[in-house]
């Protein structure tokens, strides 16, 4: 008998559907669930977990095969990852189904009970809505008779104007959340930048939405057509009302800007402050080989498409691991950068041109050209913050290209302690840096809003960007002194300058230690009012870090994300992160899921 595995973001939903399936298929039906994340006490946090799906596959295993049904898109991503952990001989007997979760499970249970083979069970699951559609006259047959479905999605057209009030506009993270929300509904959703006259574009494409170049104060219009148009617009409106779920620190952040006329400093290069702190040490370079792309294809077009798909799957797993590492090191807020990277790998604005170019140029060259063309569009946007997202796309592109070429992808580990001098620094390289060996970062290009700069600040590594190509021409072992607060990088400074920098760094460390020592003292305003310091916690393991930082209490935040991180702001004003992680987990598929969050005080 074919087994069933039910994957849901909710533990209760998965168990309820399983009970319904057993009623239809009998108590002996091999059915297992993977609902929610690992329990903390009596609660199962909302989310999906590849490790739990693997366990469910083992529980429901049948030599006749196993059908997996999933509720939302990140469940699909987690299920795909779970398959990668199976032995190849077992993997071939597992089918992931796009059937409706409840109706598909019931139909599959009946077919499995009758002893039908895996293909038939899967087909029955896909047809699970047939009875409901026939009763309501809303199925494919009714649509074909009217002829309207082929012209445009059935259902009403609903419009929603939104004025974007985010400091950095509709950049990668909020754009990704809009894409995730739009992909959860049976509707064709388009977005137009009304202010700039760009669009409309598909709301299911991260690249298309982000490259509308929507900046703060601009007005967009979201138009939905189809059966769930109203629901989709309601969800987008709620997302906008929540300011696209941006973290408070991202909404309030004021990025440093380069001075209009930065004074020249003798023996130094003046750049843009990116991450505060002082570092003194020898220059270090990352020795990253250029990826030579061969002309022509190595196999047939079909073989080349398979190579590309395989490389994308592998990089998706790598980025998921990078995101998990980022959550552990700098928190979920900054780790959201890698969620946008995952969306790049599913975006038809990138994948379509790459696949179309395979017959003429092969997978590697077609992929390289598609990334280059799309990154150029980002480069030409007016907003500097959005322009810097081109670096994120190129980072993802290089990782896939390395897989296609069978070489190791570039990474950011240094061979010896020192200050990294580099032309551009990608997020994947940044998160791999060890602050114990990477004393500071000096970057020729980019700005303070680049994701690499954001990660450097979160890691506490002093950084200066926009220094120009001269910084990359310095020989290794040349001593430099970097001041991430002023943006000045001293080249081979005299001992007196080094002494001044070291003294200032020691003073900063003393101030930090003193502030931490006072963390448990009451937070009292000058007028005598007491201020409660609360932590935003993701789980019980964050409480210890919150208490160590001097917090009086906390709020628990539960999101449709695989892991959570706490940002604890102590009385001294310093942010301390207390991350948690559940592995292996996956983020949302932008084509089918939407994010939501609920908060409760505790």
Range of 107-111, 119-123, 133-137, 158-162 with top mean pLDDT: 158-162
Secondary structure element (H or E) that encloses residue 323, with its range: helix 301-330
- The answer, yes or no, to whether residue 94 has pLDDT greater than 60, is yes
pLDDT reported for residue 66: 95
Mean pLDDT rounded to a whole number for the chain: 76
Q: What is the pLDDT of residues 342-399, one digit of tens each?
A: 778 877 788 888 889 888 888 888 998 898 888 888 777 766 666 667 777 888 888 8
Q: What is the pLDDT of residues 570-587, one digit of tens each?
A: 323 333 333 333 333 333
**Spatial contact of 577 and 330, defined as CB atoms under 8 Å apart:** yes
- The answer, yes or no, to whether residue 503 has pLDDT greater than 80, is yes
Q: What is the pLDDT of residues 267-314, one digit of tens each?
A: 788 888 888 889 999 988 876 566 777 777 778 888 888 988 898 888
How much is the pTM?
0.44
Please write down the long-range contacts of 81-89, taking CB distance under 8 Å and 24 or more positions apart. Answer: 81/50, 81/317, 81/320, 81/584, 81/586, 82/50, 82/51, 82/53, 82/54, 82/57, 84/313, 84/317, 85/50, 85/54, 86/54, 86/57
* Residue 555: φ, ψ to 5°: -125, 135
**Spatial contact of 414 and 438, defined as CB atoms under 8 Å apart:** yes
Catalytic residue among 11, 171, 341, 564: 171
pLDDT reported for residue 222: 92
The two structure tokens encoding residue 104: 């598909």
- b/e map 71-93, b = 16+ CB within 10 Å: bbbbbbbbbbbbbeeeeeeeeeb
**CATH class belonging to 301-405:** mainly alpha
Instruction: Give the β-pairing of 219-225 and 157-163.
Output: antiparallel
**Spatial contact of 232 and 172, defined as CB atoms under 8 Å apart:** no
Please count the residues of the chain: 602
Greater confidence (456 vs 449) lies with 456
pLDDT reported for residue 600: 35
Q: Quick check: helix, strand or coil at residue 91?
A: helix
Handedness of CA 76, 6, 561, 326 (dihedral sign): negative
CB-neighbour burial class of residue 406 (10 A; exposed 0-12, middle 13-18, buried 19+): exposed
CB-neighbour burial class of residue 516 (10 A; exposed 0-12, middle 13-18, buried 19+): middle
Q: What is the pLDDT of residues 397-431, one digit of tens each?
A: 888 888 888 877 655 567 788 898 887 776 666 76
Alpha-carbon gap, residue 575 to 209, rounded angstroms = 32
Q: Quick check: helix, strand or coil at residue 581?
A: coil
For the chain, percent of residues with pLDDT exceeding 70: 74
Q: What is the pLDDT of residues 129-168, one digit of tens each?
A: 755 554 455 444 333 333 333 345 556 788 999 998 888 7
Alpha-carbon gap, residue 245 to 120, rounded angstroms = 42
pLDDT reported for residue 587: 31
β-sheet with 157-163: strand ranges across: 157-163, 219-225, 188-193, 198-202
* Closest C-alpha to 280, from 485, 487, 501, 457: 501
Catalytic residue among 9, 44, 168, 341: 9
Alpha-carbon gap, residue 372 to 406, rounded angstroms = 20
- The answer, yes or no, to whether residue 592 has pLDDT greater than 70, is no
pLDDT reported for residue 227: 86
pLDDT reported for residue 290: 67
| Chain centroid to CA 352 | 21
pLDDT reported for residue 407: 78
**Architecture of the 268-287+411-506 domain:** 3-Layer(bba) Sandwich (3.50)
Q: What is the pLDDT of residues 22-74, one digit of tens each?
A: 876 677 889 999 988 876 666 778 888 888 899 999 999 999 999 999 987 67
| CATH number of the structural domain 3-136 | 3.40.50.510
**Spatial contact of 207 and 347, defined as CB atoms under 8 Å apart:** yes
Greater confidence (236 vs 544) lies with 236
Catalytic residue among 44, 168, 445, 451: 451
pLDDT reported for residue 4: 94
pLDDT reported for residue 150: 34
**Is 171 one of the annotated active-site residues of the chain?**
yes
pLDDT reported for residue 32: 94
The average pLDDT across 325-343 equals: 68
The two structure tokens encoding residue 493: 């400074």
The two structure tokens encoding residue 281: 């040490």
Greater confidence (429 vs 97) lies with 97
Please provide the distance, in angstroms rounded to a whole number, between the alpha carbons at the two ends of the chain: 47
**Spatial contact of 492 and 267, defined as CB atoms under 8 Å apart:** yes
Greater confidence (466 vs 333) lies with 466
- The answer, yes or no, to whether residue 557 has pLDDT greater than 60, is no
Ramachandran assignment for 354, one of left (phi > 0), alpha (psi -120 to 50 degrees), beta (any other): alpha
- Topology annotation, domain 157-252: 3.30.1340
pLDDT reported for residue 576: 33
Domain boundaries, the chain: 3-136, 157-252, 268-287+411-506, 301-405, 534-601
Q: What is the pLDDT of residues 231-273, one digit of tens each?
A: 889 999 999 888 888 776 665 544 444 444 445 667 788 888 8
The average pLDDT across 119-130 equals: 78
The two structure tokens encoding residue 274: 């990116």
Where does the pLDDT of residue 215 fall: very low under 50, low under 70, confident under 90, or very high at 90 and above? confident
Question: Helices 301-330 and 348-356 sit at what angle, rounded to 10 degrees?
Answer: 150
Q: How far is CA 386 from CA 216, 226, 252, 381, 434, in A?
A: 12, 31, 18, 7, 28
- DSSP assignment, residue 294? P
**Is 9 one of the annotated active-site residues of the chain?**
yes
pLDDT reported for residue 112: 83
Q: Token match 């987008």: residue?
A: 236
Secondary structure element (H or E) that encloses residue 359, with its range: helix 358-379
Q: How far is CA 349 from CA 203, 318, 339, 346, 599, in A?
A: 12, 22, 17, 9, 35
The two structure tokens encoding residue 517: 């020592």
pLDDT reported for residue 115: 76
């Amino acid at each position: 008998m074919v087994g069933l595995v039910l994957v849901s973001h909710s533990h209760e939903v998965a168990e309820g559907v399983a009970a319904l399936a057993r009623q239809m298929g009998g108590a002996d039906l091999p059915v297992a669930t993977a609902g929610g994340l690992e329990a903390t006490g009596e609660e199962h946090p909302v989310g999906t977990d590849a490790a739990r799906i693997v366990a469910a596959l083992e529980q429901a295993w049948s030599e006749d095969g196993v059908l997996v049904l999933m509720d939302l898109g990140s469940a699909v991503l987690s299920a795909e990852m779970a398959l990668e952990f199976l032995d190849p001989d077992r993997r071939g007997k597992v089918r992931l189904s796009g059937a409706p979760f409840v109706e598909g499970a019931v139909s599959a249970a009946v077919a499995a009970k009758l002893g039908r083979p895996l293909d038939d069970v899967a087909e029955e699951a896909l047809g699970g809505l047939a009875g409901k559609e026939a009763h309501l006259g809303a199925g494919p047959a009714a649509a074909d008779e009217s002829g309207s479905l082929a012209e445009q999605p059935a259902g009403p057209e609903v419009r929603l104007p939104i004025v974007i009030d985010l400091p950095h506009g509709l950049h990668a993270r909020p754009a990704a959340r809009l894409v995730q929300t739009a992909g959860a509904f049976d509707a064709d959703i388009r977005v137009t930048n009304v202010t700039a006259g760009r669009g409309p574009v598909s709301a299911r494409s991260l690249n298309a939405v982000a490259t509308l170049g929507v900046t703060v104060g601009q007005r967009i219009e979201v138009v939905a057509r189809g059966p769930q148009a109203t629901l989709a617009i309601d969800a987008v409106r709620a997302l906008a009302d929540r300011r696209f779920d941006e973290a408070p620190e991202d909404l309030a952040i004021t990025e440093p800007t380069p001075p209009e006329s930065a004074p020249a400093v003798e023996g130094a290069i003046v750049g843009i402050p990116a991450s505060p702190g002082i570092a003194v040490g020898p220059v270090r370079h990352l020795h990253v080989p250029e990826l030579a792309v061969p002309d022509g294809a190595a196999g047939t077009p079909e073989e080349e498409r398979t190579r590309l798909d395989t490389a994308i799957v592998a990089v998706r797993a790598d980025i998921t691991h990078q995101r998990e590492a980022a959550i552990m090191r700098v928190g979920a807020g900054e780790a959201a950068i890698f969620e946008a990277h995952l969306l790049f790998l599913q975006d038809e604005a990138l994948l379509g041109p790459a696949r179309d170019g395979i017959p003429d140029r092969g997978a590697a060259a077609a992929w390289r050209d598609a990334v280059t063309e799309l990154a150029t569009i980002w480069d030409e946007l007016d907003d500097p913050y959005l322009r810097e997202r081109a670096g994120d796309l190129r980072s993802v592109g290089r990782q896939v290209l390395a897989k296609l070429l069978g070489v190791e992808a570039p990474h950011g580990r240094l061979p010896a302690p020192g200050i990294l001098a580099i032309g551009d620094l990608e997020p994947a390289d940044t998160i791999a840096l060890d602050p114990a060996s990477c004393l500071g970062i000096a970057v020729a290009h980019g700005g303070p809003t680049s994701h690499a700069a954001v990660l450097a600040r979160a890691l506490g590594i002093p950084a200066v960007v926009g220094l120009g190509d001269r910084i990359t021409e310095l020989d290794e072992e040349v001593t430099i002194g970097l001041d991430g607060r002023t943006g000045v990088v001293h080249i081979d400074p005299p001992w007196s300058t080094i002494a001044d920098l070291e003294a200032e760094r020691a003073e900063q460390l003393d101030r930090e230690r003193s502030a931490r020592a006072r963390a448990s003292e009451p937070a009292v305003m000058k007028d005598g009012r007491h201020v409660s310091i609360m932590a935003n916690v993701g789980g019980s393991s964050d409480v210890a870090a919150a208490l160590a930082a001097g917090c009086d209490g906390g709020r628990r935040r539960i999101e449709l994300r695989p892991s959570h991180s706490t940002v604890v702001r102590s009385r001294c004003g310093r942010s301390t992160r207390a991350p948690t992680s559940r592995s292996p987990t996956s983020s949302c598929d932008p084509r089918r899921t939407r994010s939501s969050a609920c908060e409760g005080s505790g």
